[in-house]
Amino acid sequence: MKAFVFPGQGAQFIGMGKELYEQNETAKRLFEQANDILGFRITDIMFEGTAEELKQTRVTQPAVFLHSVITALCMDDFAPDMVGGHSLGEFSALVAAGALQFEDGLRLVYARAQAMQKACEAAPGGMAAVLALPDETIEKICAEVSAEGNGVVVPANYNCPGQLVISGNVDAVGRACEQLKAAGAKRALPLPVGGAFHSPLMQPAKDELQAAIEKTEFATPRCPIYQNVDGQAHTEAADIKKNLIAQLTASVRWTQEVRNMVAAGATEFVECGPGKALQGMIAKIDNSVTVQGV
């Protein structure tokens, strides 16, 4: 069985989607439709902009979404048995699986990006990657640092065994990193991101996005979608909506999600979108499956 997976923020690069735009009429039409919906030419930034322009959350998220979704929609043999996406990538997965219309997915992603940008500016936060330490140890130290009362820090992304990203107030993340290194972490490295994604600091963004999601029509996907908040397969529109709303402040349980896909019969994983980050994670989660990009 084949699982298609979609990357999140951080996979972007200048030139992404340009070849697809130039060589495929369907892709060109969808990219131009996206320019009209967004009200600015995101393709100009994607194809020929600067890295600084592209890394703005309000640009990055729709750019990664567009590259991922249009790649899938232009494939002759896109026939997933299941889909999943890492954080932002869950929106790409929903469109690719037919649970969301392309236009609605893009509008939601842009609303999400703008809401998250505002939340980052209102409550500056940070994230850090922790390597080679048991999840339980990281969870315990985050809880202890948060209990001190000077900011919050939580596990944000369970990427693969030995790699967990934490998120929260800048000072709390810094204190947690010191304690994690003292506890034996190989690295506890601050990430170059503009906010504390998948933490309680995203609550204002969650509230804003919830209103947009509740107004949007979702259909039953053509195959199960595995969602970040619980790592489980879902096909009911109401459940998918609820999980998508919860995702902004909840942990991304990617390791559990991939393991559940394998348990359901997935033997081949295809990363659809920019970068190769998910391929590396999946190989570390289960080296018995095949992984490839598009």
* Amino acid, single-letter form, for residue 43: T
Q: Where in the chain is the domain with CATH 3.40.366.10?
A: 2-121+200-293
Give the pLDDT score at 124. Answer: 85
Helices (H), the chain: 18-23, 25-38, 42-48, 51-54, 57-73, 89-96, 102-122, 135-147, 170-182, 203-215, 237-246, 254-263, 277-285
Reported as a single tens digit per residue, the pLDDT across 43-84 is 999 999 999 899 888 899 999 999 999 999 999 889 999 999
Distance CA 227, CA 236 (A): 12
Q: What is the pLDDT of residue 150?
A: 86
**Lateral strand order in the sheet of 2-6:** 233-234, 225-226, 82-85, 2-6, 268-271, 290-293
CATH number of 2-121+200-293: 3.40.366.10
Active-site positions read: 87, 198
Tokens 């979702």 correspond to 218
Other beta carbons less than 10 A from residue 259's beta carbon: 15
CB 129 within 8 A of CB 187: yes
Lowest average pLDDT, out of 52-56, 90-94, 104-108, goes to 52-56
Residue 192's closest CA among 129, 274, 108, 255? 129
- One DSSP character per residue, 225-255 reads EE-TTT--EE--HHHHHHHHHHTTTS-B-HH
Would you say 90 and 227 are in contact if contact means Cβ atoms under 8 Å apart?
yes
Entry pTM: 0.95
What residues does CATH 3.30.70.250 cover in the chain?
A: 125-190
Q: What is the pLDDT of residues 245-282, one digit of tens each?
A: 999 999 999 999 999 999 999 999 999 999 999 999 99
Percentage above 70 pLDDT, the chain: 100
Distance CA 206, CA 93 (A): 20
C-alpha triplet 26, 28, 32: angle, nearest 5°: 120
The third-level CATH classification (topology) of the domain covering 125-190 is Alpha-Beta Plaits (3.30.70)
Query: What is the rounded distance in angstroms from the CA atom of residue 201 to the CA atom of residue 13?
Result: 27
> Of 66, 28, 99, whose CA–CA distance to 274 is shortest?
66
